[in-house]
Chains A and B, each alone.
Chain A
């Protein structure tokens, strides 16, 4: 190995440590007793309190919050992630199909309406959005949590781009083969998009799981918290009067909130990278 390649590896190892060490430390620390943490600070090696901590966080009422366990929050997060991903894929595929494959009068204005959603991140219209959902009585419901997030056009643009890259001849051949517009969509286009659908599902699951501001303002009851917004409540645990600050639980909660999306990304790494990079073309 020559010197420049040693430098290269050194830089990459530093980068990898920078990206992974904090999460590892968070995990290692979460497996220690609160006294140890308070006495010695952050931990680099795992301790012996793994089961105790995670059991308490996941299953014991009052373990992290007044009555909700992390299991309930995990469930809410999963519903948000999966619901968001599936809803987004279905809705945006249909819209993209109409825009690419049909000639219709309102195609252009409707396209621009969809496009406009890219200009208006949720953050800039958060208060009126909240009012709309509140007026519809959708606060603290999964519908109110998921549906407003689905509308943004990223998925539609992605599928539009992909559909346009599908050779024209396939539609022509299908029409000669007597396929209806729905038949072409279901028999040809959807199976052809399998990889793309998988990639978008993965990305959107992560995006949905990681939502913060919207769930934060539209859930008022503890039992509707997702993990990502639940972690903020951990400050209460840290400062419970009289007890030792429960840092190990705070770390455990961050690990739980991190694990599912990270696993999804790692397991489906290739699809995920492809989808992410393709979607921006």
Chain B
């Protein structure tokens, strides 16, 4: 808080009003609706609805399709997070080491941030297109019986590859800035104390990057949950047989394509709870960070 503030007056209300009004209309109200609708069951024609307590929840959550999507989402998020973080960390450490061409590397490694996930998805999809895609041909040429239209593992591979590709740049930016934020004197002190650069990295640099890493994990999980919608929608669309359907994609599928408003809302609420949990973890962590 500021030491000195302007005292009570109607002015601050005018300043926050635009944001609050938009939030109430387009956030709070729809969110409340989602919760309310998650307790309703509509009849087949969508003409009347009836309050069914938690039936939508039990129906969705215990359905095989939802569990399959949940399972895929967890595996998918974990892989995307670790692969993109690992790759980005490697590149950031190397980019932080070089002197020659440092800014060129930096630019080339970060620019993909600006590409929209669905655009990346479409590009990837075209590269894997059996008619022209050299990647498709390559995968088969090196001995895989590759067909992402039919094989769940191959389909997951495509989606994960594109998702990782799209996320490396943002992780790279944060890791590089985290590395540059480590005082030079700390690195110099470490050089005098420890001769092995690998050991220096794991005992000094990596622990100092821990706050960045943790923050990025949260960002990446959120990304894998929500923003990869665009990638999935432009590549596999959840196929084959729901093998690449994430929870968010399923909300969209059931709500818009399947018109199952109650079930889709119940899924939304479950997702909200997940985001909430993630935020709580993040904030507990930030509190800790403030202490040291």
> 8 Å CB contacts to B: which residues of A229-280?
229, 231-232, 234, 245, 247, 250-251, 254, 257-258, 261-262, 264-266, 269, 273, 276-277, 280
- Which listed residue (A22, A121, A175) contacts B4, Cβ 8 A? A175
Given the interface contacts A104-B13, A217-B256, does A19 sit within 8 Å of B108 by beta carbon? yes
The 10 closest A-B pairs by CB, nearest first: A128-B33, A210-B116, A98-B15, A128-B30, A102-B12, A261-B114, A98-B12, A148-B26, A151-B22, A16-B108
User: How many whole Å from A253's CB to the nearest CB in chain B?
Assistant: 8
Given the interface contacts A231-B234, A247-B126, does A95 sit within 8 Å of B8 by beta carbon? no
Complex CA gap A33/B165 in Å reads 28
For residue B282, which residue of chain A has the nearest CB?
A118
Complex CA gap A106/B15 in Å reads 13
> B-facing mask of A1-45, CB < 8 A → 1, else 0?
000010011011001101110110110010000000110011000
> 8 Å CB contacts to A: which residues of B239-292?
248, 251-252, 255-256, 261, 264-265, 268-269, 271-272, 275-276, 279
> A-facing mask of B180-219, CB < 8 A → 1, else 0?
0000000000000000000000000000000000010001
User: How many whole Å from B278's CB to the nearest CB in chain A?
Assistant: 9
Cβ of B137 within 8 Å of any chain A Cβ, yes or no, is yes
Q: Are A8 and B98 in contact (CB under 8 A)?
A: yes
Q: Are A113 and B275 in contact (CB under 8 A)?
A: no
Complex CA gap A170/B113 in Å reads 36
Q: Are A265 and B111 in contact (CB under 8 A)?
A: yes
Q: What would be 23 A-B contacts, judged by CB atoms less than 8 Å apart? A: A9-B101, A11-B90, A12-B105, A42-B127, A95-B18, A95-B19, A102-B5, A117-B23, A121-B275, A123-B271, A124-B248, A125-B30, A126-B251, A128-B265, A132-B26, A132-B33, A151-B23, A168-B4, A212-B116, A232-B233, A234-B122, A251-B123, A258-B115
Given the interface contacts A41-B132, A104-B12, A125-B31, does A262 sit within 8 Å of B5 by beta carbon? no
- Which listed residue (A29, A128, A210) contacts B117, Cβ 8 A? A210
Cβ of A103 within 8 Å of any chain B Cβ, yes or no, is yes
Residues of chain A lying within 8 A (CB to CB) of residue B276: 119
Q: Are A232 and B8 in contact (CB under 8 A)?
A: no
- Which listed residue (B8, B108, B117, B279) contacts A103, Cβ 8 A? B8
Complex CA gap A69/B97 in Å reads 47
Residues of chain A lying within 8 A (CB to CB) of residue B114: 206, 210, 258, 261-262, 264-265
Residues of chain B lying within 8 A (CB to CB) of residue A213: 229-230, 252
Cβ of A58 within 8 Å of any chain B Cβ, yes or no, is no
Cβ of B150 within 8 Å of any chain A Cβ, yes or no, is no
Scoring A42, A100, A106 by chain B CB atoms within 10 A of each residue's CB, the highest score goes to A42
Given the interface contacts A125-B31, A228-B118, does A273 sit within 8 Å of B8 by beta carbon? no
Complex CA gap A15/B109 in Å reads 7
For residue B98, which residue of chain A has the nearest CB?
A8
For residue B135, which residue of chain A has the nearest CB?
A42
Residues of chain A lying within 8 A (CB to CB) of residue B8: 103-105
- Which listed residue (B33, B115, B129) contacts A261, Cβ 8 A? B115
Interface residues of A (CB under 8 A from B): 5, 8-9, 11-12, 15-16, 18-20, 22-23, 25-26, 29, 37-38, 41-42, 90-92, 94-95, 97-107, 110, 113-114, 116-121, 123-129, 131-133, 147-148, 150-152, 156, 164, 168, 171-172, 175, 181-182, 206, 209-210, 212-213, 216-217, 228-229, 231-232, 234, 245, 247, 250-251, 254, 257-258, 261-262, 264-266, 269, 273, 276-277, 280
Scoring B4, B33, B113, B272 by chain A CB atoms within 10 A of each residue's CB, the highest score goes to B113
Complex CA gap A117/B22 in Å reads 11
User: How many whole Å from B164's CB to the nearest CB in chain A?
Assistant: 10
Residues of chain A lying within 8 A (CB to CB) of residue B234: 231-232
- Which listed residue (B94, B109, B222) contacts A19, Cβ 8 A? B109
Q: Are B248 and A123 in contact (CB under 8 A)?
A: yes
Cβ of B144 within 8 Å of any chain A Cβ, yes or no, is no
Residues of chain B lying within 8 A (CB to CB) of residue A105: 8
Residues of chain A lying within 8 A (CB to CB) of residue B174: 276-277, 280
Q: Are A151 and B6 in contact (CB under 8 A)?
A: no
